Structure 1
Amino acid sequence: MKPKILVIDQYSLPLLDSALVEDEWFREFKLPETSGKLRRVVIGDNIYILSEAADENSGYLVIYIGENGVFSSSARSRNVFERIIRVALTQFDRGISVPVPWQKFHAGSRLSVYAESYLRGNVERICFDRSPAGTANIYAFAVTSKALDLDNVPIDIECYTFAMEQIVDALITDIQPIINGGNYGIVLSEPLGLRLAGSGTLLEWYEKRLNSEQLNFVNKSTDGPLRLRGAAGTGKTQAMVVKCLRDLYDAADKNLDYRFAFLTHSSALAHEVVRGMLYALDPSERWANLFTEDGKPRLWIGTLYELAQLQLGYEKKGLSPLSLDGIEGRDYQRVMINDSINQTNSDARIKFGLLNECPDFSDRMEDLDARDALIEEIMNEFACSIDAENIRKGTTDAERYIKEDREAWQMSLPTMNHRKILLEIHSAYCLELHKEKYLSMDQMVADFGRYLSTHEWNQLKERDGFDRVFVDEYHYFTRVETMVLQNLFKSRAGVSGRWPLYMAYDLKQSTRDTNFGNGISRFRNPGVGESIPVDLKTVYRSSPQITALLRDLDGSFPAIDLEGEFNTYIGQSAQPSGEIPTLQIFKNNTELVDSIFEQAIYAAKSLPAKGNDVAVLCLNEKLFSIYRDAGRIQDKFIAITSREDMKDLRYAKNRCVFSMPEYVAGLQFDTVFLINCDEVELSVEHISQGARRRYVSRMYLGASRAIRHLSIASSLERGGPNGILNLSITSNNIVKSENLKSKEKKRKTPSTY
């Protein structure tokens, strides 16, 4: 008989949230004997998964799994389950929120979210009741083929009531015997952040593990802004989390009714990595169970977008923010910009007017072979200038944009007519967004900024605002986003005229120019008073040989005046000596892909942690999409196509991770293959200094993910290795080899695993 109800207590949710769950688990929801803290009880048609801490007063997630239940969705069952778990966690942990792209919609006690990414074309939604039968539990009761009026979605409340009537019997039932052996389809694994942080309590890190530079930051006074600067692998996030936790507990112990915010640019970094690191430092999760006198969580963790959604309630208004965090979102934006270019190019008024005055730009718009490079430049211009400043054609801001001097890192638009053409393309792009009923993330932040200046927020900020704000990956925030931060504080937080904002960043890891908009002075004074810099110089991730290569890449950054914030790479490795990175050269892309993935799989099988310690990172976005969909290598990798996919790392097993550097920022791998480091990327005639800087940043970010082994691959089909590597070749910080002959040679490179 097929079970109808699955009941999970609130303390089991974090364990299941980090578990490796395969499709076969959803047949019987069995747990192996090695599951440890969880046990499975079956009573009639109901299955109960219970933790040691569960009792009759605990909160419960109840899932309808009967005929036409939530797992009847066309979406993959594990994806649906992960979203159900996340929504349930928000029910019992007010410091957790639902990611913006899931498009949470409320109707009374009911809510729904997308069953999987809507950008993949699936519009199915999972429906919940957050107060079934008037209780404080949460009930995932249905999946719908599209967005419907939630009040009209049928709910089997009798099944819920009957299952909860049996909860006491389930709690007192002894663990039922399980036959050893077999594949249960589930492995309870540690959170990603726990693996990154390693062992050690908060006290151990503070007293023994932090170096003097990190300790200096942690011990700094909390009455003003601090900026923590350091190269990749210097432990910026670790120092931020330790300081946050120490300051939080210090305030709680002194009975100070303080609220803290830990903001990141990526929801996955916030909820997977940062929360895992907090759990590693204090497994008792005291940090998750501290609340203010008003019942607010003392520590709020998430993105600025999630905070904006929380305050503005866009999901209640039926608006859909467009997420550009994943490959799908960027692909969609690219298509929209391409259509906008074509529309602008075919407009007789523009073609015989502005474009006639700018023949060089007209040629670029008509050159389909160079269209990808043009779209990339336009995407960056929208993000770092036009959308960031909320500039619209015909406004006074547009006139300022047209006439003002431009920085060296910006897109090459030498005359006012060039900039007018960009505004025409942007106008067509915005009309397309409006037609599709999407709200861009920049528009959402702009609305949030305006809200924070209202009388309403002036009343609410003493309750909903913060006393301390930590911002990791500050280099990804636009100027508009950073302007929002100063208005998040409670009034009392700035009594000294300086506000306690703590920023961690490495400008050279940013693959976009959004952080350079309107100057770099906002790093020194982010609107909350002059900040004190703290520099980290010891690299804990990469071997000395990889660190030497990173120093060479640092020397390849264009000479851009960034007011002292674009410092020379001075990191010194604290890791044991390792192998010199290799440069592999192939005849064409096909040979490159076949050989590199063969090497990656061999490395994945040879390492104890298997595939999630081996990554193949592509430097070209278009090629990444092509390779990702290539049938010949589909069984060799798990694709990370956005930073929200970090949880999928647990499913790598004997496969490698395949992604782009920006989507694995914050992660580290024993072995990294950096592919398509090709000359053609830098040989485009119209490439700007900003485009060159972004490409070097992508190389730097990708190479800095490696701990022990780094191999860079290039294709002669695309011009061979680009000139950025020349310094490393001449200084012998990379070993060059040409893979043009036998497959045997490919299998032997690199030499040791």
Structure 2
Amino acid sequence: MAEYLAITQQTCSWLLAHNAVTSALYKAIENREVESLTKGEFAAGPLRLAGTTDGRFVSVWNKEYLSGTGHEAWGIIKLSGPFGLLSHLSIGQQVFERQIYVFNQRLQSLIIDSDFIHRSWPNGCQTCLAGRGTEARQFSICYFEGSPGFGALNAKAVIAIGPAHDFNVLQKEIARETEAMTPIAAAADGIIDTRRRPLIEAPAFHALREALSPARQHEFQFDKVSVSASFHHRTSGILPHETAFWSYDDWITKGALNDAQRAVLESDVLLRHPVRVIGPAGSGKTLLMQLLAIRYLRRAEQNQSECKFLYIVHNAAMAQTVSDRFRTLGAEDYFTNPIQNLKITTLAEFGRQVSGLTEAMVIDKDAQQTKLFQLTQVRDSLRKVLSENAEKVAASPLMSQVATNEDLFIVFAALIVTEISNAIKGRGLTDNEKGYVNAETPLSRLHGVLNTTERQIIFSCFKSYHAAVFEQFEMLDSDDIALTLAGRLRTPLWQLKRKKEAFDFICVDEAQLFNENERRIFPYLANGHASHTPIALALDDAQDLYAFSSAGLATLGIADVEDKNLPSNHRSTREIVDLAFFIIQQTTDLFSTDFPDFKSIEEAMVSSTHPLAAPPFIITCNDEQPSFGRFAVKQVQKLRASNVRQIAVVCHAETYWKEMLDAFTASGLPLHVLQQRGEKVAPDQPMVVLSRPAFVGGQEFDAVFAVGLEQGIVPPRIVDNVALASAVEQQVLREMYLVITRARYRYIALLNKGAIPNSILQAALTERKLSKSVVGAN
């Protein structure tokens, strides 16, 4: 039987507003349904339950309210034994509700209602009435609070026992339980980060699922729209190129939308709550967002009412692509119509305009170019700081590895960019080095795995970066723009102006590309006419390459978001799709109930018998080749001779980038080097595309060569820091998934002479998701 139940503070707050869920959760505890959580995870709506493999601890959390630091504030309930929650079943539910209330109050340092007869005791524990009913008021619960630093706690925690009658006995018992608080909180944090199989349609938790489902049931009971399966049935056989020039009316009437797209479109979900449209590449997220925008604008036009729609993209190339697509759909008039208006912009450009910044004050109008510049400057600053702090580097095994391993250096620099953004700038610590270095509570996942010496190096890197960008170049980076914009939007003046100047609806395309500082801005862009934030966010979490720290949307100000999952629409062979899902299911935070249903996506797949198709495989450069770059060119030339027209070479390892670039530039092949995500590639022209993983999102190729997936290279070897090594591996898994899903017919991993596949490819080989190929000297 489970001994302890841990619930995050924000989840306690959420449960207090959802009585039916709280009651069903208690029943699941009372009926011992939580015992099934040793082998799987409960997932319904935003609620998650999971346990340790030994069955002792169970964690409960709302995924939308996670802090993103890797360490949550936990309320811990003793379940078993004479002082456990289940010791008096007749009042168990009341006690559970009271404990949730206490956790929510005390984890926020708020006082307990005086009606609950709160008392403090000499040993530091506290008591209050166990419940609201006549019987429950004869009992008390006892709790003890621990702050960061107490017993090595990383965040505040509260542990509660009871109900019981005797105050003296409760005090003695809670003194013993306080020793368990730190290991339980650590186990609870670990449960969130551990990958498990979901409990799909298990008989346990039926009542809890029902309590979480009414909103979804209501959503599909259309009172104004009738969805006729016969009328809306998707027409099979419509190829992508046939729809390239379709208008909005074509998409609505010709039956090419799938059931999920049509349900979201016709149910007017944005009128009731925020929506997160989730789906892998090619599932139609962007199309759905655009159709939603036109639907609301047309309705406003018919009703002769005002409608302002904001469509946010990440960079200028994507803005141009989206604008062109809206023109094709027939929405160009809304660009200039002041009454029913459609504004397409990058967040960086919008922030620059609203904040009154000139172009000379920012690094680049394009957010993508700005972030690339930031990464380059951080790399330069990190090299400088490492060379100037030899003693500190020598004292840190991690920093010693960063200084001597170029592949690890490249990855670590990218993590520092995020750290500067979220933990330093986002928390207002730019002038407070001690506040960053000596913080007891982790400010981010990276911050939590670094010691104080390593944090000093990170902050020195920030100061060097800041001196170069802000003081030497006298420019603002994308975070400066986002924070400046946020400062303006949080003022009383904007609260008055937003009713007229802000927007009725907001769409954010590829939301995974925006960092936490940028995501916090989105709620302020709505005009406040609705009680919720009318925002739709389209994203594929698997393409969030630097998701080392990611707070829940509710934590960032977008509460009660509903997920809408679009089915996979992979225009790849079954073998490539199979490999892609094998890779992504190794991640800790993307493993969910949304397993690939090959029956439902089989129609969209390319036939494995297609003349150009071949199962995924690995080839290793042989000794006869003059260089790895020349070997890669030869493999591409062989495929082109087999009539494979569009080929991508994606370089996962920065170590090989220059060699690949030089070799393909000298090869005479029709080469296109991708410089940013969303860049246009002519779909009908034979060419070779060279790219880094971050830039291939949204593209499709006949074949993809992956370079650098070698043991010790990608992911780079990290010794004596398991948490960081695991996080870097998660990033590589996302990159690999993204790259694999770009391939229609062939996926080939290229290895250098003497290299062996990384552990991820090795696992795929073991599971026969790909094979090794022997290549001759010619």
Q: Shorter-chain TM-score category?
A: 0.5 to 0.7
Counterpart residue type for residue 277 of structure 1: R
- In the TM superposition, 1:649-664 aligns within 5 A as 649-650=681-682, 653-664=685-696
Greater CA deviation, 500-509 or 728-737?
Answer: 728-737
CA contact (8 A) 1:388 1:478 kept: no
* Alignment-derived partner of residue 427 in structure 1: 463
**Structure 1's 287 and 195: CA in aligned 2 closer, same or farther, altered over 3 A?**
farther
- Pair 1:437–1:385, CA change in 2 (3 A): same
CA RMSD across the alignment: 3.4
The alpha-carbon distance between structure 1 residues 607 and 448, as it changes in their structure 2 partners (threshold 3 A), is farther
Distance 2:357 2:559 in 1: 32
Q: Secondary structure at the match of 2:521?
A: helix
Task: Tell me: CA distance 1:276–1:540, structure 2 relative to 1, closer, same or farther (3 Å).
Answer: farther
Judging changes above 3 Å, is the alpha-carbon distance between structure 1 residues 388 and 271 closer, same or farther for their aligned structure 2 residues? farther
Alpha-carbon distance, 1:259 to partner? 0.6
CA distance in 2, matches of 1:195, 1:270: 21
Q: Does 1:668 align with 2:700?
A: yes
In structure 2, C-alpha distance between the alignment counterparts of 1:534 and 1:316, rounded to whole Å: 38
Output aligned runs, 1:229-628, within 5 Å: 229-272=278-321, 274-282=322-330, 285-292=332-339, 298-315=341-358, 318-321=361-364, 325-326=368-369, 330=372, 333-334=375-376, 336-343=378-385, 345-346=387-388, 358-361=395-398, 363-364=400-401, 366-367=403-404, 371-394=409-432, 398=436, 402-405=439-442, 410=446, 413-434=449-470, 435-492=472-529, 494=530, 497-513=531-547, 516-517=549-550, 519=551, 521-522=552-553, 527-557=557-587, 559-560=588-589, 572-573=601-602, 574-578=604-608, 579-587=614-622, 591-601=627-637, 603=639, 610=645, 613-628=646-661
TM-score (norm 1): 0.62
Cα 1:205–1:607 shift into 2, 3 Å: farther
8 A Cα contact 2:618 2:772, kept in partner: yes
Change (3 A) 1:502 1:318: closer
> Residue 476 of structure 2: SS of its match in structure 1?
strand
State the 1:383 CA deviation.
4.3
Match of residue 171 from structure 1:
none
Q: Is 1:678 matched up with 2:710?
A: yes
1:580-613 CA-partner distances (Å, limit 9, x unpaired):
22222224796543343344356557769x5xx3
- Distance verdict in 2 for CA 1:701–1:281, change over 3 Å: same
Change (3 A) 1:599 1:281: farther
Q: The residue matched to 1:688 in structure 2 has which SS?
A: helix
Contact 1:412 1:688 in 2 (8 A): no
Distance 2:334 2:367 in 1: 31
| CA offset digits 1:65-115 (Å, max 9, x no partner) | xxxxxxxxxxxxxxxxxxxxxxxxxxxxxxxxxxxxxxxxxxxxxxxxxxx
SS at match of 1:503: strand
**Aligned match of 1:202 in 248, 269, 273?**
248
Change (3 A) 1:567 1:378: farther
State the shift of 1:423 in Å: 1.4
Aligned residues: 520
Residues 364 and 391 of structure 1, relative CA distance in 2, 3 Å threshold:
farther
Distance 1:411 1:639, change over 3 A: farther
Return the offset for 1:526: 5.1
Alignment of 1:51-130 (within 5 A): none
- 5+ unaligned residues in a row in structure 2: which ranges? 1-239, 609-613
The structure-2 alpha-carbon separation of the partners of 1:265 and 1:603, relative to structure 1 and needing over 3 Å to count, comes to: same
For structure 1, which runs of at least 5 residues remain unmatched after alignment? 1-193, 744-753
CA change 1:713–1:479 in 2 (3 A) is: same
| Structure 1 residues 542 and 281: CA distance shift in structure 2, 3 A | farther
- 1:729 is matched with which residue? 765
Amino acid in structure 2 at the alignment position of 1:261: L
Tell me the distance in 1 between the aligned counterparts of 2:519 and 2:458: 25
Cα 1:707/1:245, change in 2 over 3 Å = farther
The letter of the residue matching 1:404 is T
Distance 1:325 1:338, change over 3 A: same
Letter in 1 for 2:575: Q
Question: Whole-Å Cα distance in 2 between the matches of residues 490 and 406 of structure 1?
Answer: 31
- Rate the CA distance shift 1:286–1:525 in 2: closer, same or farther, 3 A: farther
Please report how far the alpha carbon of residue 665 of structure 1 lies from its aligned counterpart in structure 2 after TM superposition: 0.9
Following TM superposition, by how much is the alpha carbon of 1:229 offset from its aligned partner in structure 2, in angstroms? 1.1
CA distance in 2, matches of 1:475, 1:458: 27
**Cα–Cα, structure 1 residues 320 and 378, in superposed 2: closer, same or farther, change >3 Å?**
closer
Summarize the Cα distance change of 1:632–1:449 in structure 2 as closer, same or farther, 3 Å threshold.
closer
Quick one: percent identity of the two aligned structures?
A: 18
CA distance in 2, matches of 1:335, 1:566: 40
SS at match of 2:532: coil
What residue is the counterpart of 2:267 in the other structure?
220
Distance 1:251 1:599, change over 3 A: farther
Report the CA distance between 1:425 and its aligned residue: 2.0
CA gap 1:635/1:290 in 2 versus in 1, 3 angstroms? farther
Q: CA deviation at 1:667?
A: 1.8
Correspondence for 2:679 among 646, 651, 662 = 646
2:621–2:751 contact (8 Å) kept in structure 1: yes
2: CA distance, partners of 1:455 / 1:605: 65
Report the alpha carbon displacement of residue 333 of structure 1 after superposing the two structures with TM.
3.4
Give the C-alpha shift of residue 275 in structure 1: 2.3
Q: Show CA shifts across 1:160-213 (max 9, x none).
A: xxxxxxxxxxxxxxxxxxxxxxxxxxxxxxxxxx96962433223223011111
What SS does structure 1 have at the residue aligned with 2:648? strand
| 1: CA distance, partners of 2:660 / 2:374 | 18
Cα distance, 1:343 vs structure 2: 3.7
Supply the distance in 2 between the matched residues of 1:531 and 1:335 (Cα, whole angstroms).
36
Answer yes or no: is 1:705 the counterpart of 2:742.
Answer: yes
- For the residues of structure 2 that align with 1:377 and 1:314, how far apart are their CA atoms? 28
How many Å apart are 1:511 and its aligned residue?
A: 1.1
Structure-1 separation of matches of 2:488 and 2:616: 50
Closer, same or farther: CA 197–241 of 1 in aligned 2, 3 Å: farther
- What is aligned with 1:177? none
| CA 417–343 in structure 1, closer or farther in 2 if over 3 Å, else same | closer
Q: Partner amino acid for 2:478?
A: M
Structure 1 residue 474, shift from structure 2 partner: 1.2
User: What secondary structure does 1:302 align onto?
Assistant: strand
Question: Which digits, 9 at most, give the CA deviation of each residue in 1:304-330, with x for residues without a partner?
Answer: 11111221232266444486735x964
What is the TM-score with the length of structure 2 in the denominator? 0.61
The amino acid that maps onto 2:756 is: G
> 1:551–1:569: 8 Å Cα contact kept in structure 2?
yes
Q: What is the CA deviation profile of residues 693-734 of structure 1, one whole-angstrom value per residue up to 9, with x for unaligned ones?
A: 1111111111111223322222244x3221212343233332
**Which whole-Å deviations, capped at 9, do the CAs of 1:460-496 have from their partners, x for residues lacking one?**
434431100011111121121111011111132x2xx
* Alpha-carbon shift at residue 430 of structure 1 (Å): 1.1
Q: What corresponds to 1:129 in structure 2?
A: none
- 1:714 is aligned to 751
Amino acid at match of 1:627: M
